[in-house]
């Protein structure tokens, strides 16, 4: 933890050094997605890939990973129903930009509300997520509505792609979430010119957002999380610090975390220690990426995915995997695990800020933090536990995430 705090301190000093850089130096440019030429070769590879036959694998359901029937169904849909041109046209309905920050090209969506009192809100994804997981709520957040205290609120929405993901360039060696938080601070204050802003984070995005909340506390003036950059505690560990799980929903979430810790964390070890081996094996293999990423998108989500309010359909899975493959960022996205060995901590220490913090739990997320535990790391003013949704709440339960994010407006100053 001391190493993380030192890195945050260094990041704060570097942010001061960047404060005098004029915004014109960042080469802010509109961006248009055009990946169509890469689609036929991808489909050809999918067509030519031989999946195992039933005599070559054990049919034990999903206990051993993605099952063959699911993989074959997704493959057939990818080849015969999925249309990248349609998806690309939809994606280009959003306002995309790139900026050059510290030698990196940073891609982001910037949807403005048009209201002068709109709250700037940066939404930070993780792995195997992308900017895609926030699209169902992006334009809704720009609309003017009332928070629970009656305050009219709207947002200017900023959705960046983490360096090495999507259309953002790959960062250099030893790049950490502290570095990403620093350049996101520059993006918000220097490139886009906001004096203050709010943050949301999930998965690795929770690490980036928490660093902004803690180390850039003069400008990051509210934070919402659906995940924490801290290892969750098992029910027995919670009892040791006098925190009990009092409802059926909490007890279910606690046991789900125990199960996931025992059966679902193998990817973490592989990506943390041998990202090149995995990356080289799957970089030019769309079906391999579908198996690896698709398993997480399915298993980390509510089993009711694809039924309202979820929009995490099989088409959404194929769109996500297609983005990874067509942008050639599967390998580079894995490095965030290798370069952040302390990215998820174990010490629950209060952030150095009085800014309000909000938290949303979702029933089928892979980890669970009860309210009393979340309160140990920030100025917790709002906590809600949803009985529908999972790890990718922006697509798994967009109305709930939208409602909770709007509550930032009740506390933002």
Catalytic residue among 337, 364, 386, 396: 337
> Is 337 labeled as catalytic in the residue annotation?
yes
**Helix 39-48 vs helix 68-80: angle between axes, to the nearest 10 degrees?**
140
Catalytic residue among 156, 179, 203, 214: 203
Instruction: Give me 208's structure tokens.
Output: 């980036």
Catalytic residue among 224, 391, 404, 411: 391
> Is 96 labeled as catalytic in the residue annotation?
no
Between CA 395 and CA 305 the distance in angstroms is 9
Query: Strands across the sheet with 119-124, in order?
Result: 29-31, 96-101, 104-111, 155-160, 119-124, 197-201, 220-225, 356-364, 379-390
Which residue numbers are catalytic? 203, 337, 391
């Amino acid at each position: 933890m001391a190493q993380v705090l030192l890195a945050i301190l260094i990041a704060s000093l570097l942010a001061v050094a960047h404060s005098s850089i004029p915004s014109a130096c960042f080469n802010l440019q509109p961006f248009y997605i055009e990946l169509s030429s890469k689609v036929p070769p991808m489909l050809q590879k999918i067509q030519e890939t031989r999946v195992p036959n039933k005599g070559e694998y054990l049919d034990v359901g999903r206990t051993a990973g993605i099952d063959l029937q699911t993989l074959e169904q997704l493959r057939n849909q990818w080849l015969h129903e999925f249309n990248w041109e349609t998806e690309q046209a939809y994606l280009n309905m959003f306002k995309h930009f790139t900026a050059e920050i510290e030698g990196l090209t940073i891609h982001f969506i910037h949807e403005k509300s048009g209201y002068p009192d709109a709250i700037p809100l940066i939404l930070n994804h993780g792995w195997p997520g992308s900017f895609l997981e926030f699209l169902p709520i992006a334009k809704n957040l720009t609309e003017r509505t009332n928070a629970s205290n009656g305050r009219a609120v709207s947002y200017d929405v900023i959705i960046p792609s983490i360096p090495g993901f999507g259309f953002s360039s790959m960062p250099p060696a030893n790049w950490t979430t502290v570095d990403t938080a620093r350049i996101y601070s520059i993006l918000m204050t220097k490139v886009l010119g906001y004096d203050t802003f709010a943050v949301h984070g999930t998965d690795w995005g929770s690490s980036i957002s928490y660093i902004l909340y803690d180390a850039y506390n003069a400008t990051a003036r509210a934070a919402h999380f659906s995940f924490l950059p801290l290892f969750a505690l098992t029910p027995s560990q919670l009892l040791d610090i006098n925190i009990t799980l009092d409802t059926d929903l909490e007890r279910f979430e606690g046991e789900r975390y125990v199960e996931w810790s025992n059966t679902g964390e193998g990817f973490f070890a592989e990506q943390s220690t041998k990202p090149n081996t995995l990356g080289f094996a799957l970089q030019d293999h769309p079906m391999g990426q579908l198996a690896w990423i698709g398993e997480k998108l399915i298993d980390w989500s509510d089993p009711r995915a694809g039924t309202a309010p979820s929009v995490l359909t099989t088409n959404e899975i194929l769109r996500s995997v297609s983005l990874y493959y067509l942008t050639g960022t599967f390998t580079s996205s894995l490095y965030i695990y290798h370069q952040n060995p302390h990215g998820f901590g174990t010490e629950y220490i209060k952030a150095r800020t009085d800014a309000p913090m909000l938290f949303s739990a979702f029933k089928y997320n892979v980890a669970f933090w009860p309210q009393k535990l979340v309160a140990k790391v920030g100025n917790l003013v709002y906590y809600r536990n949803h009985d529908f949704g999972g790890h990718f709440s922006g697509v798994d339960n967009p109305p709930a995430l939208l409602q909770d994010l709007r509550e930032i407006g009740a506390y933002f100053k």
